[in-house]
Structure 1
Amino acid sequence: MAGYADDLSLAHLLADTADSISMGRFRALDLRVESKPDLTPVSDADTAVEQAIRSTLARARPRDGVLGEEFGHTVAAAGPGSRRWVIDPIDGTKNFVRGVPIWATLIALMEGDTPVAGLVSAPALGRRWWAARGHGAYAGKHQHAATRINVSGVRRVADASFCFASLSGWSDAGLLQNVVDLSLASWRSRAYGDFYGYMLLAEGALDVMVEPELSLWDMAALIPIVTEAGGSITDLAGRATADKSSVIATNGLLHETVLTALTPKTR
């Protein structure tokens, strides 16, 4: 995968390290969990994974910056550059601390404001997903056991499997009824949550995933995987997603329909 082969190989090595740490703490009786200022949980596994990834990146990519959920932004040792790694050490911490196996480490490489490579590793599910710009999206147990993935060809909401997150968040945005109406109009609706809905979308197992608010570390790794699988991912206005934005991800064929359905109604 010319251009990003070395970066993706590094991302897999980072994920190997992350998996060994997180799986060692998953369902551990002595797991330490605290609340952050925004009242979301953080475990000792979150911080240990991010510290380990940062340590490796400092050696392997000293010219690249790093942004992580737990420790913020670090400027590259060699000075500011256009490349930075964006890390969510454990996406789905609430699942992690309750023993639910749907959680993952998210690793992205950005050039400027554009995510150009992404990897999602869900060790408790025994699965990874990864992609780089212009080279397709893949899934498998590891880098050498990969299958190329693609979104579905579903064209009608009535035939679509619809996935959503955070009804309370959609309520706060004043769009709860829109989401409910879209759910009722769909063939099937489920709330898989966090990274997982986006990965199922990229694999063609569902057709729409919507979420009211995501931070950059929540979404940067997802964008290359969804788009390289043939899907679309934007905010409510149809723009490229940004930090703290709402997110609509679809198989592309349904995107305009979903955008219209989630447009706030004027009175």
Structure 2
Amino acid sequence: MDDDLSLAKSAALAGAAEAMRHFAALADLPREMKADGSVVTLADRAVEATIRDVLTAARPADAILGEEEGETSGSGGRRWIIDPIDGTALFVAGDQRWLVLVALEEQGEITAGVAVVPAMDRVWWAGRGTGAYEGRLSGGRIVDETRIHVAACASREVAGSRLGVVPDWDREVAEPLIALADEQHWPLHPPLMIARGELDLAVQTCGQIWDFAATSLIITEAGGHYRGLYGRVGPGAGPSLFAANAELRDEALSAVNAAPARS
């Protein structure tokens, strides 16, 4: 039986392949608006169904939580967490930066995480205590596996640090950091850029547990830090902060928490 991280990779790659099938035919892709104003498509649902099929076949007793289909119960304190297309607005716009995210939570702790950027043929993964890695996709397989680390010379202060803010349309919560840092364009998801040493700090201004479960582990195993902006330690609902080191994390959290409350 495959280990959990291998299974997470297999499920994420199967979802990525399904997503690319729809991405290649965007003009004909039905889409609609959710109650929260975000867009959802047939691709989101098809990708989640594909990932669920892989996970259920291998681990039928495990719970699964997905953005589109909700939670199915399981036993033993194990739960797979799926974001079938993270960045659906990017996806429908033809932007390549969207992701497929799969993570495993055991007894409340994330122990495996995979992030695929299918349109760029890139994949990142981590297991609890085993480090973070990046690879390239070729013919549906992972090649050129490389261990990744945050930048050893990353800034310890918000002022002048390399900052990424995502998504582009919801930035108010990050304004105290934007005013001080050197905000940069993000050709990849900003938390992954920190994990590979290309940014120092990132704010994801909104989201749910499925947006953060995989990336929170990847950045931690790369030597970085993850926190909710308002006291939350583990992945969950609300804005989140990713940092290359503890000093930068703490200063960034202090700057955000000292800012006037959002109305």
State the TM-score, normalized to the length of structure 1.
0.87
Runs of 5+ unmatched residues, structure 1 = none
What's the counterpart of residue 163 of structure 1? 164
Q: Which amino acid in the other structure matches residue 180 of structure 1?
A: E
Q: Is 2:140 the partner of 1:146? A: no
Matched residue count:
253
* Aligned-partner Cα distance in 2 for 1:45–1:239: 31
Secondary structure of the structure 2 residue equivalent to 1:120: strand
Deviation at 1:228, TM superposition (A): 0.3
Greater Cα shift, 206-215 or 92-101: 206-215
Encode CA deviations 1:124-170: one digit per residue, 9 max, x unaligned: 01100000110100001144421111111322334421111347645
2:32 matched residue in structure 1: 34
Equivalent pair of 2:209/2:235 in contact (CA under 8 Å): yes
The one-letter amino acid paired with 2:37 is L
Deviations 1:194-227 (A, max 9, x none): x811100111100101123220111111111010
Trace 1:101-180 onto structure 2 (pairs within 5 A). 101-142=96-137, 143-152=142-151, 153-154=153-154, 155-166=156-167, 169-171=170-172, 175=173, 179-180=174-175
Match of 2:195 among 202, 212, 217: 202
Q: Secondary structure at the match of 2:101?
A: strand
Match of 2:242 in 1: 249
Shift of 1:43: 1.1
TM-aligned CA deviation for residue 192 of structure 1: 3.4
Task: Note closer, same or farther for the CA distance 1:240–1:60 as it changes in structure 2 (3 Å cut).
Answer: same
In 2, Cα distance between the equivalents of 1:108 and 1:166?
A: 21
Number of the residue aligned with 2:61: 63
Q: Distance in 2 between matches of 1:57 and 1:266?
A: 44
Give the C-alpha shift of residue 9 in structure 1: 1.2
**1:81 Cα deviation after fit:** 2.1
Matched, 1:46 2:44: yes
Cα distance in 2, alignment partners of residues 184 and 231 from structure 1: 23
- Change beyond 3 A, Cα 1:5–1:185: farther
Identity %: 38
1:258 equivalent in alignment to 2:252: yes
CA distance in structure 2 between the aligned counterparts of 1:88 and 1:158, rounded to whole angstroms? 33
Whether the 8 Å contact between 1:211 and 1:247 is mirrored in structure 2 is yes
Provide the C-alpha distance between the structure 2 equivalents of 1:19 and 1:190, rounded to a whole number of angstroms.
Answer: 27
Shift of 1:63: 1.6
- The answer as to 2:90 corresponding to 1:95 is yes
In 2, the alpha carbon distance for the partners of 1:165 and 1:205 equals 15
| Deviation string, structure 1 residues 39-92 (Cα, Å, up to 9, x no partner) | 21111111111111111211111121100000000113xxx2211100000001
Give ranges in structure 2 of 5+ residues lacking alignment. none
Provide TM-score, normalisation by structure 2.
0.89
Structure 1 residues 167 and 51: alpha-carbon distance in aligned structure 2, compared to 1, 3 A threshold: closer
